[in-house]
Amino acid sequence: MFSECEVIKIYGSVFNFVLLTDFSGMFFFFGPGYSNFKKKGMACSYVLPPKIKSDLEKSSRLFSVHTPFYQIKGNRKINCLDWSVPGNHLGVGLSSGVIGVWQIDDEKTVTYKKKRDFTTTRSSHKGGSVQSLSWNPNVHEEVCAGCDDHFVIVWDIRKKDPIHLISTNSIVVSVAYSKDGKYLAIADRTNTISVVDGRKYGVIYTQKSDCSIYSLKWSLNDNFIMASDKDGKIQIYSIKDSNGRVLSKKHSITCHNGSCYCFDISSNGQYLATGGADGFVTLWDYKSLTCIKGIRREKPGCAVTSLSFSKDPTLLAVGTDSCDNNTFIDIIHTQSQKSIHRISNKDMMITAVKWHPKRAILAFSDISGKDRESSHARDDSPSSVLVWNPKG
């Protein structure tokens, strides 16, 4: 379970801003709206406002009853998954170079059928493990896959063969379409960010990062690309500034004492959440880039490898790697920053989590218990995608 930080001293409070530190030596900066603190000697605690407390109780009741998992089994390691923009397709990327696509049957039930498997192997290259997926927001049947064979592949799931093939300098670690679908961003192992035209699929901009990149996303207005890196930071690049410079670094925020593996932006532009090797989740005000809360695991050393906001975004799903044979997904209530539910199974290791874009449905992938210890070294570990539908 994620626990609140043990606050040992208030350093200052000016205009509702409070700077706090905890026993781990990390500092947290609380912005406006987080002034309801009561002193307890040298420590303090946060008192939830009535509205947030009511929403917390409502969200907790959502998880009092839930349907069983819907399980999609695979014979290879599942590296990534993503919902299409309308939410009618779920794409899954496997280490075998296969992209599995499942379709929701209708708007009322949560049952799936296999749409088609697409292999990345073609005569032009050998094919490789799928590392990242992103759906085209303009053409809802097109999905982009970044692979470790130095290629990015664009598929139209209505067709047999890929419609575009983009060569990169190295292993592709992350791909992301802009919100308007005009551009595709690609990050590879040479620490290079490339921006590709979303219609002709030619590279138009490139930028070298200072260190290894783990994931990237577009800002909500498509004016910036945000990337998490090995230094525990979120780097923010401007697509084009007032001086005409492209992909110039505009800002960076330090989020973790170690690598920042993942991050997500809420659809309403309220929150930014990051997860890292230090086992922390940091929650930020997206507009001001002010840290709202640092939330840490009850046991140190369990890295946060994947996270996702729900459509509201009332809930944040947080997945971790294997830790003391107790791997789980925490569901965090964003307004109170409290963990309200846990999806736990001693035989699973989480590789990806993703909320449905329009409904309270969570998809996540795991690796079977017998292969967990070797999962980082082997790509032939059997995996599953589980679809979880809470209901009140």
Each residue's pLDDT tens digit, 173-191: 999 999 999 999 999 999 9
| Mean of per-residue pLDDT scores for the chain | 77
Q: How many whole angstroms separate alpha carbon 131 and alpha carbon 303?
A: 19
Using alpha carbons, select from 216, 220, 354 the residue that is nearest to residue 286.
220
User: What burial letters (b/e) apply to 224-237, b meaning 16+ CB within 10 Å?
Assistant: bbbbbbbbbbbbbb
Contact in structure between 127 and 118 (CB atoms under 8 Å): no
First to last CA, the chain: 22
DSSP state at residue 125: B
pLDDT band at 360 (very low <50, low <70, confident <90, very high): confident
* 143 Cβ contact partners less than 8 Å away, ≥ 6 residues apart: 82, 84, 89, 91, 99, 101, 133, 134, 135, 136, 154, 155, 157
**Per-residue pLDDT at 126 exceeds 60:** no
Q: How many whole angstroms separate alpha carbon 43 and alpha carbon 47?
A: 13
pLDDT band at 388 (very low <50, low <70, confident <90, very high): confident
Spell out the domain ranges in the chain: 58-391
Burial of 359 from C-beta contacts in 10 A (0-12 / 13-18 / 19+): middle
pLDDT band at 301 (very low <50, low <70, confident <90, very high): low
Range in 15-19, 107-111, 124-128, 203-207 with the lowest mean pLDDT = 15-19
Place of tokens 């695979």: 74
Sign of CA dihedral 239, 306, 366, 150: positive
**Per-residue pLDDT at 327 exceeds 80:** no
Torsion of CA 193, 196, 202, 207, to 10 degrees: -30
pLDDT at position 70 is 63
Using alpha carbons, select from 319, 280, 330 the residue that is nearest to residue 300.
280
Q: What average pLDDT does this structure show over 356-360?
A: 88
Q: How many whole angstroms separate alpha carbon 164 and alpha carbon 170?
A: 18
Q: What average pLDDT does this structure show over 307-327?
A: 83
Using alpha carbons, select from 30, 96, 74, 112 the residue that is nearest to residue 282.
30
pLDDT at position 209 is 92
Contact in structure between 337 and 4 (CB atoms under 8 Å): yes
* 389 Cβ contact partners less than 8 Å away, ≥ 6 residues apart: 66, 67, 70, 110, 360, 361, 362
Q: Bigger pLDDT: 152 or 325? A: 152
pLDDT at position 162 is 87
Q: Bigger pLDDT: 228 or 390? A: 228
Place of tokens 């979303």: 198
Using alpha carbons, select from 261, 239, 259 the residue that is nearest to residue 248.
239
**Per-residue pLDDT at 22 exceeds 60:** no
Query: What's domain 58-391's superfamily in CATH?
Result: YVTN repeat-like/Quinoprotein amine dehydrogenase (2.130.10.10)
Q: How many whole angstroms separate alpha carbon 124 and alpha carbon 134?
A: 23
Tokens of 392: 């009140």
Q: Bigger pLDDT: 39 or 210? A: 210
Q: Bigger pLDDT: 83 or 391? A: 83
pTM of the model: 0.80
Sign of CA dihedral 309, 226, 350, 295: negative
pLDDT at position 168 is 92
DSSP per-residue codes, 328-339:
EEEEEETTTTEE
Phi and psi torsions of 260, nearest 5°: -100, 105
